[in-house]
Structure 1
Amino acid sequence: MHIKETIMSTSKSSTVPPPVRTAIITGASRGIGRAIALRLAADGFKIAVNYSGNAARAQEVVSAIEAVGGEAVAVRADVSQAADVQRLFATTQGAFGAIGVVVHSAGVMTLAPISPESVETFDRVVETNLRGAFLVLGQAAQKLQAGGRILALSTSVIARAFPEYGPYIAAKAGVEGLVHVLANELRGRDITVNAIAPGPVATELFLKGKTDEQIAQLSKASPLERLGQPEDIARVVSFLVGADGGWVNSQIVRVNGGFA
């Protein structure tokens, strides 16, 4: 009996507190971000559906959440702009109070070779994918309290180094670096910081500009021989921000079916 009580006491004292049930999902109007927003709403979170341009699609996500009894609000913000990111957090706090989870999913993918002619593409991709992550993660670090969870989206393509993915991989490698550093900067605050690195996922962002042959080839790249689905990624997000994910910190979780 004494041993059992000791084990139970130790377990309780080492448990990271659960996050407040409000989540900001950037890039939530489509693709992986949309799936994450719907999944966390089903888990009981109030959701701030961030979008950059398509208000109608963001409102569709809000309506889908509300249709099943959840609470959500659409918030327009360009994640590469500091004032927009500040407003995103302020609007969410105004609607729902304290924020417990931030999932940074917003991103762009434009392929270009590493050459002087591609520098404008490089700048655009880095501005959204890396500067955006810096701003969103930095704001999350200021706003979240004990038990908070911060997640960023990276990519498993980093390990494959496909031609013309230079700007995208450079930005996402930078995101992974930010995750490790921020986890250390938040030492002692009981806030976890992780990244999820999907493999090829059947989203508009991934499929755009690819031939049927390229898509078929990438579908066979993992041992499971299929493209991932947005829901595959959302399920792992659900775990990491849920009660059982509190001891996972400063990790890059490669959710890719064995792709890399």
Structure 2
Amino acid sequence: MELKLTGKKALVTGGSRGIGRGIVLGLARAGADVVTCYRTESEAVTSLARELKETGGNHQLVKADVSDPAEVDALVEDCRTSLGSLDVVVHNAGVISHVPFAELPVEEWRRVVENNLGGPYLVTQRALPLLSAGGSIIFIGSRVATVGIPLRSHYTATKAGLVGLTRSLAKELGPRGLRVNVVAPGPVETEEPAPAEVRERYQKMIPLGRLGTPEDVAGVVAFLASDLSRFVNGETINVDGGI
């Protein structure tokens, strides 16, 4: 039994940094052709393009805001043009902020909801014509969805919403042979390291004694993208070290 994604065609939103970048590189290195999108030009985008070129395969980086219907349409059209079809859609793009609920402006509530829930709605709906039986839709949620955390009520609400969206779509799209699941990371250390005191606090809470890495999340995404998970549907898989 071996995890191979050779011949798979994937779309990953928000793939230039952090967990998204780990997912893009993980899928590409497992043999998939990957289209990913980013919001703003940066050195991270340039370096990712370089890494993907060195990896080999048919990969594309597209500038797109997943909360904008017109830009999502253009992104999906790029997938159709460059890949022809899709086997995997990974929803990673999202935003976060830390605001006391009593002071949370309606504009900030809407921004987070439109990106973290509206983006997955738009991308999934528009990408459906490119997905056929055996396809896998993967939402990147968060462990906080079932725990809650102060100052992130808006963010937590959107991640909890992804669980409900997943359960409904698993039942609605299952008859078409499509699987829909959530990967819910716990504390993950990316290219922007957590402050020492935060890292130490989480290490004490996590039985494995460390924070997660983008690669830890990418491995579970690759499993859900592969045929090894062909009977896994409607699930939330926590990747949190047992916190």
Q: Same fold (TM over 0.5)?
A: yes
TM norm structure 2? 0.92
> What is the alpha-carbon distance in structure 1 between the residues aligned to residue 162 and residue 7 of structure 2?
24
Contact 1:111–1:167 (Cα < 8 Å) also in 2: no
CA contact (8 A) 1:112 1:165 kept: yes
Question: Is 2:91 aligned against 1:107?
Answer: no
| The one of 235, 244, 248 aligned to 2:219 | 235
Q: C-alpha separation between the residues in 2 aligned to 1:138 and 1:216?
A: 41
> Under a length normalisation based on structure 1, what TM-score does the superposition of the two structures give?
0.86
Larger relative strand fraction: 2
For the pair 1:164 / 2:151, whether they are aligned, the reply is: yes
**Letter matched to residue 35 of structure 2:** A
Structure 1 residue aligned with 2:185, among 198, 206, 217?
198
2:23 aligned with 1:32: no
Identity of aligned residues (%): 39
CA contact (8 A) 1:20 1:98 kept: no
Report deviation, 1:169.
Answer: 0.3
Task: Indicate conservation of the 8 Å contact 2:6/2:30, yes or no.
Answer: no
Look at both structures and tell me which one has the larger radius of gyration over its CA atoms: 1
Q: Using the alignment, how far apart are the partners of 2:203 and 2:107 within structure 1? A: 30
User: Residue 234 of structure 2 corresponds to which residue in structure 1?
Assistant: 250
The alignment of Structure 1 onto Structure 2 pairs a total of residues equal to 239
1:180 aligns with 2:167: yes
Code of the residue aligned with 2:109 in structure 1: it is F
CA RMSD of the aligned region, Å?
Answer: 1.9
Structure 1: how far apart are the matches of 2:40 and 2:69? Answer: 17
CA contact (8 A) 2:80 2:130 kept: no
| Distance in 1 of aligned mates of 2:54 and 2:7 | 22
Matched, 1:75 2:59: no
Aligned to 1:8: none
Q: 1:48 aligns with which of 35, 38, 41?
A: 35
Could you give the per-residue CA deviations for residues 46-99 of structure 1, whole angstroms, max 9, x where no partner exists? 110211112542232222122132221111110011111111111011012111
| Aligned counterpart in structure 1 of residue 45 of structure 2, from 58, 80, 83 | 58
Structure 2 contact 6–31 (Cα < 8 Å) conserved: no
* Residues in 1 aligned to 2:152 and 2:191: alpha-carbon distance in whole angstroms: 17
Residues 1:121 and 2:126 are matched in the alignment: no
